Amino acid sequence: MQVHANVLNGHAETSPTTFDSRNPATGAVLGQVYSSTREQVAAAVAAARAAQPAWAARPDSERQALLMKVAEVIKSNSEYLAHWVTREQGKPLGGVGPGQVPGARFEAWGCEVWTQVPASLELPVEVVFEDETRRDEVHLKPHGVVAAIAPWNWPLLIAIWQVIPALRMGNTVVLKPSEYTSIGTLEMVKLIAEVLPPGVINTVSGAGEVGGWLVEQPGVDKITFTGSTATGKRIAAVAAQRLISTTLELGGNDAAIVLPDADPAAIAMGLFWGAFLNMGQTCAAAKRLYVPDELHDAVVAQLKSLAEAMPMGDGLEPGTAIGPIQNRMQFDKVSRLVETAKATAGATIVCGGTPATGPGNFYPLTLVTGLKDGDALVDEEQFGPVLPIIRYRTVDEAVASANRLDVGLGASVWSPDIVRAREVASRLEAGTVWINQHGMVHPMVPFGGIKASGWGAEFGHAGLKGMARTQVISVGKG
């Protein structure tokens, strides 16, 4: 069985111990990954630090050109990478165009696009003030070494979101993939490292303690992390001790609000994929759906019809639209929340609610009604294929419910009246509020959370600036 190595200063790095990576659809072991030691984490940071001055000294145009080559390598290996995503993460292979299931091929294509866009953007020196006495310019400088910790739900794409802007701005990177989905990410980095100078991108792998060793390294100048709020708080505390910069994209419990004038049939597909894309294992998925009394039954009926029609299974099998939950820990959390909902007075399991038997972490798409604010499935982020649908009487009541939790990653409003929808959207406490869509990120549009959903922006010019520090050069004209 193949053991997958890390990349350290341009070469393959092995370790004394390994861990298994499993297929969530079958439970089979896919391969093994070397678990980095504390000394290897320090060596990876040292390699990145040694390579950083020369990388930053390159003309920006050279870094852009090299990153465009990275995009080409990803594109030419997209099918290979997509198969690793499906085998290791579980999302179906799907496709990339209109009408295609947005699965692993979409993720590989996204890696290409989210490399091309940061590589193509221009960031000229900004003159913020000038008169007859002075000229003040804002220059962007790299932080130095960026520690990036990627999650298991979009293991390649989110790694790219973290790595490429950092590299573009002249930083070097040490990336730690999730221990649940390490192989695909390591395979992608091996391809990237063939294009870049040694030490510019390095990896470490292993359980959470490896991530802890990484963020504690004195040679790290910035940390970017996507994951749970609890882990994000620990990382922020470590960073605060050294006063280094962080970008944290943390948990969300996104609310979607259907306004009374919405057409249930017209919005059903958008709501469905807004909630169940990647089996609901998306930070900015719709996880609480607020529907007015008069539309409640019609919206539920539309979503039930879609949920029961979606074929679930191994994502490598043709025609599969829905895959498994990625790991048993998350499977057990989803199961617990549904069992708690079943025991809640007034709750109804509209469809699903019973785990599939046999191998794999398959849990059916589940709709739950009759819940209210304060119930566990409403207040806790389920991060899985379960959607609570909550009745409301007034829009003010729905807005108050959406804002009551200490999270604020995304939200959405659904209505044919865009003026009215904009007014409601402006009242929601979230980093992004979509209208008549949910979770539709774009490489040019800033994305990030507020409250306990984190801070800092990714994507576009804002994401690039987040990977740099500012230096003002003030020139006197005396």
Secondary structure string (H, E, C) spanning 33-100: EEECCHHHHHHHHHHHHHHHHHHHHCCHHHHHHHHHHHHHHHHHCHHHHHHHHHHHCCCCCCECCCCC
Active site residue 249: yes
**C-alpha gyration radius of the chain:** 23
Q: Which helix (H) or strand (E) holds 414?
A: strand 410-414
- Below-70 pLDDT ranges, the chain: none
Residue 395's pLDDT is 98
Strand order in the sheet with 410-414: 348-351, 366-369, 386-392, 286-292, 254-258, 410-414, 432-435
Q: Where in the chain is the domain with CATH 3.40.309.10?
A: 254-444
Residue 321's pLDDT is 94
β partners of residue 3: 32
* Assigned fold of 3-250+453-476: Aldehyde Dehydrogenase; Chain A, domain 1 (3.40.605)
127 exposed, middle or buried (CB, 10 Å; 0-12, 13-18, 19+)? exposed
CA distance 85 to 437: 25
Residue 439's pLDDT is 96
CA distance 369 to 356: 21
Measure Cα distances from 221 to 148, 224, 242, 244, 461 in Å. Answer: 11, 10, 9, 6, 21
pLDDT, tens digit, for every residue of 66-91? 999 999 999 999 999 999 999 999 99
pLDDT, tens digit, for every residue of 211-256? 999 999 999 999 999 999 999 999 999 999 999 999 999 999 999 9
Residue 95's pLDDT is 77
Of 88, 107, 112, 249, the catalytic one is: 249
254-444: CATH class:
alpha beta
267 Rama sector, left if φ>0, alpha if ψ -120 to 50, beta otherwise: alpha
Active site residue 283: yes
The tokens for 132 are 């007859």
Q: Where in the chain is the domain with CATH 3.40.605.10?
A: 3-250+453-476
Of 88, 112, 283, 381, the catalytic one is: 283
The tokens for 7 are 């990349």
DSSP 180: T
Pairing mode, strands 454-455 and 245-249: antiparallel
Measure Cα distances from 116 to 64, 74, 110, 300 in Å. Answer: 9, 11, 10, 40
Angle at 213 between CA 209 and CA 217, to 5 degrees: 170
What is the Cβ-side half-sphere exposure of residue 188, based on CA atoms within 13 angstroms?
Answer: 34
Residue 217 contacts residue 244 (beta carbons within 8 Å): no
